[in-house]
Chain A
């Protein structure tokens, strides 16, 4: 499946990119996060939530179709 990974706020600084494409087999959110940390070591120990197609999901959630994945650091609206 094809995933679009989006980074925001401090995570753009940590990865030096705001978006990337990833071809990957079905996996859990935590497996995906492991892989992303491996690619971008500065993501390690950063606090972030994960959204799939704009819905927040748990790390145990399984991704099995093309999707937009967003890594969201702590919110700071207002």
Chain B
């Protein structure tokens, strides 16, 4: 069986507000849409045992992760009446306060996008092999784990 070329969800470094703004603007031509919903994951400057997290350095098993993103996308379109969906995740270093995950769902009606967005974000957190090294101010680190 020929393997379908998968979309690459990953972007190097933080996701900029310009990129997010442009992504919204591109949907002005899709006039069947009546509701967008957006999730932005931001790196938190947690304090752990007196040390502050300054950045997360993301790595991934990229081939499997893109396959999982694809499966999540297919399952979400199956479950919800969406017009379109976009997912972007950072790789490499993202500083505290910067955006590391951008999920964008659109539909003719609002109720669908509220449910669909939560479904997509929870699936990403649970199923996609992405790893995060939480770097402290003194350059020591610990490994992030989703709960």
Residues on B lying within 8 angstroms of A by beta carbon are: 41, 58-61, 63-65, 67, 89, 100-101, 121, 124-133, 143-146
Q: Which residues of B contact A74 (CB under 8 A)?
A: 143, 145-146
Task: Name the residue on B nearest A53 (C-beta).
Answer: B64
* A72/B129 contact (C-beta < 8 A), A51-B61, A78-B146 known: yes
The residues of A that contact B128 with a CB separation of less than 8 Å are: 75, 77
Among A6, A9, A54, residue most surrounded by chain B Cβ atoms (within 10 Å)? A9
- B143 x A73 contact (CB < 8 A): yes
- Are A77 and B146 in contact (CB-based, < 8 A)? yes
Closest Cβ of chain B to A12, distance in Å, is 8
A10 contacts which chain B residues (CB < 8 A)?
A: 131, 143
Please report the total number of A residues contacting B with Cβ < 8 Å. 14
Q: Looking at the complex, which one of A9, A54, A73, A76 makes contact with B64 (CB distance below 8 Å)?
A: A54
Task: Give chain A residues whose Cβ lies under 8 Å from the Cβ of B143.
Answer: 9-10, 73-74, 76
A55 to B89, CA, bound (A): 21
Q: A8-B129, A9-B133, A54-B64 are in contact. Are A77 and B89 (CB under 8 A)?
A: yes
Contact across chains for B63 and A8 when beta carbons are under 8 A apart: no
8 contacts between A and B (CB under 8 A): A8-B59, A8-B60, A8-B61, A9-B59, A51-B129, A54-B64, A76-B145, A78-B130
Known contacts: A74-B146, A75-B130. The answer to whether A51 contacts B125 by CB under 8 A is no
Q: How far is the CA of A64 from the CA of B144 in the complex (A)?
A: 34
Residues of B within 8 A of A43 (CB): none
A55 (CB) vs chain B CBs: closest residue:
B64
Given A9-B143, A10-B143, A51-B61, A75 and B133 touching (CB < 8 A)?
no
